Amino acid sequence: MKFRVDRDRLAESVAWAARSLPARPSVPVLAGLLIEADSGGLQLSGFDYETSARASLAAEVADEGRALVSGRLLADICRSLPAHQVEMSLEGQRVTLVCGSSRFTLQTMPVEDYPALPAMPDVSGTVPADSFTGAVSQAVAAAGRDDMLPLLTGVRVEISGEQIIMMATDRFRASLVELTWSPARPDAEGVALVPARVLADTARAVAAGTDLDVALAPLGSGDGLIGFQGSVDDGSRRTTTRLLDGEFPRVQQLFASEPTSTAWVETAPFVEALRRVALVAERNTAVRLSFEADRVVLEAGSGDEAQATEALPAHLRGEPLLIGFNPTYLLDGLGVLSAPWCHLAFTQPTRPVSMAGCAEDQGEPNLAFRYLLMPLRTHG
Partner 1 sequence: MRATPTVLHLDLDAFYASVEQRDKPSLRGRPVIVGGVGGRGVVATASYEARAFGVQSAIPMAEARRRCPHAAYLSPRFWAYRAASDLVMQQLRQLSPLVEPLSLDEAFVDLAATYPDADGDDVTRIGHDLRTRVRDVTGGLTASVGAATSKLMAKIASDLDKPDGLVVVAPGTERRLLAAMPVRVIPGVGPATEARLRRLGAQTVAQVAELSTAELVRELGRANGSALARLALGWDERPVVAERETKSVSVEDTFASDITDPALLHAITLQLAGRVATRLQTARLSGRTITVKVRLHDFRTHTRAATLPAPTDSMRVIRTLAHRLLDESDTTGGVRLLGVGVSGLADWVQDDLFDGTLSAAATGTIEHPDATEPADPNADANADVDADLDHERASYSPGADVQHTAHGPGWVWGAGRNSVTVRFETANTPPGPVHTFALDDPALHLRGSTIAH
**Interacting residues toward partner 1 by CB under 8 A:** 146, 148-149, 151-152, 169, 171-174, 246-250, 254, 283-286, 324, 326, 348-352, 372, 374-380
Q: For partner 1, which is the closer residue by CB, 324 or 365?
A: 324
Q: For partner 1, which is the closer residue by CB, 105 or 284?
A: 284
Q: How far is CA 370 from CA 68, 209, 254, 270, 367, in A?
A: 45, 26, 11, 17, 6
292-329 burial code (b ≥16 CB/10 A, e <16) = eeeebbbbbbeeeeeebeeebebbbeeeebebbbbbeb
For the CB of residue 374, give the shortest distance to partner 1 in the complex, in Å. 5
CA distance 281 to 271: 15
For the CB of residue 155, give the shortest distance to partner 1 in the complex, in Å. 15
Q: For partner 1, which is the closer residue by CB, 104 or 172?
A: 172
Q: For partner 1, which is the closer residue by CB, 227 or 327?
A: 327
Helix (H) or strand (E) holding 367: strand 365-373
Q: What contacts 305, CB < 8 A, 6 or more positions away?
A: 280, 282
For the CB of residue 207, give the shortest distance to partner 1 in the complex, in Å. 29
Pairing of strands 32-38, 41-47: antiparallel
Q: For partner 1, which is the closer residue by CB, 164 or 353?
A: 353
Q: For partner 1, which is the closer residue by CB, 185 or 379?
A: 379
Sign of CA dihedral 221, 222, 223, 224: positive
CA distance 109 to 30: 10
Alpha-helix residue ranges (DSSP H) falling in 167-238: 196-206
Closest CA to 185 of 216, 221, 223: 216
3-class secondary structure, 209: coil
Helix (H) or strand (E) holding 188: none
For the CB of residue 250, give the shortest distance to partner 1 in the complex, in Å. 7
Helix (H) or strand (E) holding 78: helix 71-80
Pairing of strands 65-70, 182-183: unpaired
3-class secondary structure, 172: coil
For the CB of residue 124, give the shortest distance to partner 1 in the complex, in Å. 26
Q: For partner 1, which is the closer residue by CB, 83 or 148?
A: 148
Q: For partner 1, which is the closer residue by CB, 45 or 169?
A: 169
For the CB of residue 322, give the shortest distance to partner 1 in the complex, in Å. 11
Mapping DSSP onto H, E and C, the string for 120-134 reads CCCCCEEEEHHHHHH
CA distance 30 to 114: 7
For the CB of residue 248, give the shortest distance to partner 1 in the complex, in Å. 8
For the CB of residue 351, give the shortest distance to partner 1 in the complex, in Å. 6
Q: For partner 1, which is the closer residue by CB, 47 or 346?
A: 346
Q: What is the DSSP letter of 243?
A: P
For the CB of residue 50, give the shortest distance to partner 1 in the complex, in Å. 19
